[in-house]
Amino acid sequence: MTTIDQLTDNLRQTVKTGNLTRQSLPLCPDVSLYLISEDYPKGQLPHEEMLAIMEQPAYWSFCWASGQVLAAYMLSQTELCRGKSVLDLGAGSGVVGIAAAKAGAANVIACDIDPFALDASCTNASLNGVAIDLLNNLARLPERVDLLIAADVLYDRDNLPWLTGLHHYADEILIADSRIRDKTLFSDYQHVAEQQATTIPDLDELKEFGDVSIYYRTNHP
């Protein structure tokens, strides 16, 4: 079991003076996460630290807007998860997988290529009194799941082909996104909700990056 001290050590491999604090989420007050503290270093950083952040960004130390919105949506629509096997793709902090578990999922797998994100997902799940399994490679998914959930995985346009391939891994898909403006890319999905949110802690991003849309796809006949 990864401890908060180990998570802090992981963070400091990138953000040398960073600290983690337990923070609740405005849209999901029953969910708490260990996230980078609000006094994290801002502005011009030393060159060596900038290189470290670019090489291994600690995405898992923030709760991104889309993750918070998708978590809140699942907790308000528990029938989406109840009794199902769920895969949280690009888990990061683990927030949406934790929400799925709280919503009654039979089992939840957090999948991320970053081992530190898997550490964070596991520790945050324990903090919230739920259990999740961990997976570091989608290709190693042992069997198809009932529901695949993903938030803020499309910030890199190289990930866009996933939209047309995720149905191979799950019967249903829920994606939350605030980055893609070309809605035709979601032509195989149904737009089911939208909500404004901010990243926690607040990165003071452009307002448009807090305009989160949720898309749903079913592969049932």
Element (H, E) at 52: helix 47-55
CA angle 21, 24, 28 (to 5 degrees): 155
Contact 128, 31 (CB under 8 A): yes
Residue 144 to residue 86: CA distance in whole angstroms: 10
Q: Strands of 52-159 (E only): list them.
A: 85-89, 107-111, 133-135, 145-151
Which residue range forms the structural domain that includes residue 173? 4-218
What is the tally of structural domains in the chain?
1
Interval 23-80: pLDDT, tens: 999 999 999 999 999 876 655 555 565 555 555 678 999 999 999 999 999 999 999 9
The CATH number assigned to the domain holding 19 equals: 3.40.50.150
Query: Across the chain, what does the average pLDDT equal?
Result: 89
Contact 88, 109 (CB under 8 A): yes
**Looking at residue 116, what is its pLDDT?**
95
Average pLDDT rounded to a whole number, residues 115-141: 96
Residue 216: band (very low, low, confident or very high) from pLDDT cuts 50, 70, 90: very high
